[in-house]
Amino acid sequence: MDNHQPSHKIERRRLAMLAVAVLLFAGPADAHVGSPNVFYEGDAGPYHLFVTVNVPAVIPGVADVQIRADSGDVRQVTTAVTRLAGAGSQYAPVPDVATRSAIDPHLFTSSLWLMEYGSMRVLINVAGAHGAAQMSVPVPSAARKMLPMPRALGALLLTLALALAIGAISIVGAAARESRLAPGAPVTPELKRRGWRAMAIMSVIAAAIFYFAFAWWNSDAQSYAAITKIFQPPKLALTLTDSNHLALRPSPKDQDWLQFKVMDSIVPDHGHLMHLFLVRTPALDRIWHLHPARQPDGSFVVALPSLEAGRYTVFADIVGQSGFPWTLVGSIDLPAISGAPLSGDNSGGHAPALASSSDSTVDVLDDGTRVVWHRDPAAVRADVPMILRFEVQDQNGKPANDLKPYMGMAAHAEIMSADLQVFAHIHPSGSVPMAALMMASTNPAGSMPGMNMSDMNPNAASAISPQLSMPYGFPKPGHYRIFLQFKRADKIETAHFDTAVN
C-alpha cells in the first residue's frame, strides 16, 4: 500500500467513507422543498395526538417537539429519539419528560438532540387515564446549512488564543532563564540567551499548533459542507422524448449524490416508486400528479397527458429503503402536447393564475362538487402548527357521501409558495410518507388517520368521510397555493385554495 498518497486524495477517501457510513443507515435525505419540519396526527393507543417536530438546521442540533392531546386524559408524556431502522433502532435512550404547558394543559413540549444524519424517529410514550401507550414519528435528520461563526466571537476566541500562546511563550522563557537561579542571584547573559532560545522554540511550537488547529478546523468544515451537500435535494435532468414522454434522472452534475446510487434502492410509497408533480409556472394554474415507471437504465419515464405549452417546474418525491424521503426538483419548457387520457392514479387540475391578492375558502369544480376550507378567521401565520380542515360537498351543498380512498389515503395535498421555494406533499396523517410511517408505527395501519389501504384492492369498497383534515405549518411568510386531491366515486378531483401567510 502506498503510504505517500497526496493529502487531497486521503481527504477525499475519508469523506467518501464517512458519506458511505451515513448513507448505509440513512438512505436518502432532504424531504419537502423548504418545508423541513415534521407534522403528524395519529393515535397512541386511546390517545389522539398532534405532533410537531421542528428539525434543527444543523446536525448535531436540538429538535423542539410539541405534542398536543385531544383530551385531558393524558397525565404524562416522555420523548426519546432512535434510528428509524437498522442497527440500534431497537435501543432507545432514557426518555425525557415533556413539560406540560401552564397555559394549555393539552400541550406538552420537549427538546431532543439529533446527533446523526438520516432516518430517525421520535418515540412518544403517553401515560393517562386509559393506561400507557406509545407512538413513533419518523423524522428526517439532515443539515440544511452551515452556521457561520459570528465575527465578534471569532475575534474574541482568536484574542484569547493569542493571549494563551504569548503567556505560554513567556512562561517557558522565564522557566529556562531563571528556574535554576538562587534567590536574589543576577541573570547572566548566557541565561538570557537560553531564555530567548526557549522562547523561540516555544514560538515555533505555538505556530505549529495554530497551523494544525486551523488545518483541522478547515478540513472538518469542508467535510461537513460536503456531507451537507450530499443531503441536499438533487436537481432533475428532464428530457422530452417521442413527443409526449418525459424522461427523468438525477442531474449528472450531482456526482456526490449519484455515486451512491440512491435511486437503485428506493421503495414504493402509496404504491408507486415516484410521485411526480408538474406545475406550470409562474401562474401555478396547472398541476399534474403522475407516476413514472423505472427503466432498465435507472431513469424514470412517464407518458404525459394532453397539456398546454409553458414552463413547468417538476417535483419528484421518492422514499429510500430506510424510509427517508427526497424531493428532486427540475424545470422544463414544454410545447403543447397531445397525450393519452389520464388513467389509474394519475390526475390533473387547473386553477386561475395565482395573484398576490388571491385568497379563497371555496372551490366549485367543473362537475359541481364544492370544496370548502374551514379555516379560522384569524390570519394564517408562519411557523404555527395548524390543522387544515376541508369539507367536500355535492352539487346541492350537502356533505358528499361517495368519497373513496385515493392511493391508500383519504386525500392528498400539495402546498407550494408563489416563489416555489416551498413545496410539500402531505396527507391526513401529516407530512411523513406512508412508507416511513409503516416502518415506524407501533400501531396497525388502520389507526393512522386518513389511511385506508382498501383502494390497493380494486374489489374493496370503503367510504371516506367528507370531512378532511391535514396537519401542517407554513414555514415562512408569503403567498401560497394549496391543491387538494381526493377521489369521489371513481373520479379523482383536484380543488385549489390560495392564502397569504404572515
Which DSSP symbol is given to 448? S
Q: Where is pLDDT greater, at 403 or 179?
A: 403
pLDDT reported for residue 252? 81
Phi/psi at 491 (nearest 5 deg)? -115, 130
pLDDT at 50 over 80: yes
pLDDT at 254 over 80: no
**Mean pLDDT confidence for 294-318:** 94
Q: Is 367 exposed, middle or buried (0-12, 13-18, 19+ CB in 10 A)?
A: exposed
- Please, what is the Cα angle at 154 between 148 and 157, to 5 degrees? 140
Q: CB–CB of 42/49 below 8 Å? A: yes
**Which grid coordinates are listed for 226?**
460536503
Residue pLDDT, tens place only, 181-214: 888 888 888 888 899 999 999 999 999 999 999 8
Mean pLDDT lowest among 185-194, 198-207, 336-345, 434-443: 434-443
pLDDT reported for residue 439? 84
How many Å apart are CA 138 and CA 118, to the nearest integer?
A: 10
pLDDT at 4 over 90: no
pLDDT reported for residue 2? 41
How many Å apart are CA 269 and CA 145, to the nearest integer?
A: 28
Among residues of the chain, what percentage have pLDDT more than 90? 61
Q: What is the residue type of 8? A: H
Mean pLDDT lowest among 131-145, 340-354, 450-464: 450-464
Which DSSP symbol is given to 337? B
Residues listed for the chain: 502
Mean pLDDT lowest among 54-58, 208-212, 232-236: 232-236
pLDDT reported for residue 462? 59
Query: 121: closest CA among 137, 104, 106, 103?
Result: 137
H or E element at residue 22? helix 7-26
Q: Is 376 exposed, middle or buried (0-12, 13-18, 19+ CB in 10 A)?
A: exposed
Residue pLDDT, tens place only, 97-121: 999 999 999 999 999 999 988 889 9
How many Å apart are CA 25 and CA 268, to the nearest integer?
A: 18
**Mean pLDDT confidence for 370-377:** 94
pLDDT at 343 over 80: yes
H or E element at residue 217? helix 189-230
Q: Is 213 exposed, middle or buried (0-12, 13-18, 19+ CB in 10 A)?
A: exposed
Mean pLDDT lowest among 33-47, 83-97, 330-344: 83-97
Name the average pLDDT for the chain: 86
pLDDT reported for residue 26? 36
Residue pLDDT, tens place only, 66-97: 999 998 999 999 999 999 877 777 888 899 99
Q: How confident is the model at residue 454 (pLDDT cuts 50, 70, 90)?
A: very low
**Which grid coordinates are listed for 206?**
505555538
Q: 38-141, superfamily in CATH?
A: Immunoglobulins (2.60.40.10)
pLDDT at 1 over 50: no
pLDDT reported for residue 320? 85
Spatial strand order in the sheet of 467-472? 362-364, 370-373, 386-393, 467-472
Mean pLDDT lowest among 259-263, 271-275, 317-321, 414-418: 259-263
Tell me the CA end-to-end span of the chain in Å, nearest whole number.
61
How many Å apart are CA 177 and CA 319, to the nearest integer?
A: 68
Residue pLDDT, tens place only, 126-174: 999 999 999 999 999 888 777 778 889 989 998 999 999 999 999 999 9
pLDDT reported for residue 387? 95
pLDDT reported for residue 7? 40
pLDDT at 262 over 90: no
pLDDT reported for residue 450? 46
Residue pLDDT, tens place only, 473-483: 999 999 999 99
pLDDT reported for residue 24? 33
**Mean pLDDT confidence for 216-238:** 79
Q: Is 300 strand, coil or helix? A: strand
pLDDT reported for residue 467? 96
pLDDT at 25 over 90: no
| CATH class of segment(s) 236-447+460-501 | mainly beta
How many Å apart are CA 165 and CA 178, to the nearest integer?
A: 20
Q: Where is pLDDT greater, at 464 or 66?
A: 66
How many Å apart are CA 266 and CA 472, to the nearest integer?
A: 25
CA–centroid distance for 245 within its chain: 30
How many Å apart are CA 393 and CA 402, to the nearest integer?
A: 10
pLDDT at 20 over 70: no
Q: Which residue has the cell 443531503?
A: 231
**Which grid coordinates are listed for 330?**
427540475
pLDDT at 270 over 60: yes
Q: Give the residues across from 492 on adjacent strands.
A: 487
pLDDT at 124 over 60: yes
pLDDT reported for residue 22? 36
**Mean pLDDT confidence for 255-264:** 73
pLDDT reported for residue 456? 38
Torsion over CA: 185, 189, 190, 194 (sign): positive
Q: CB–CB of 332/238 below 8 Å? A: yes
pLDDT reported for residue 441? 67
**Mean pLDDT confidence for 288-312:** 94
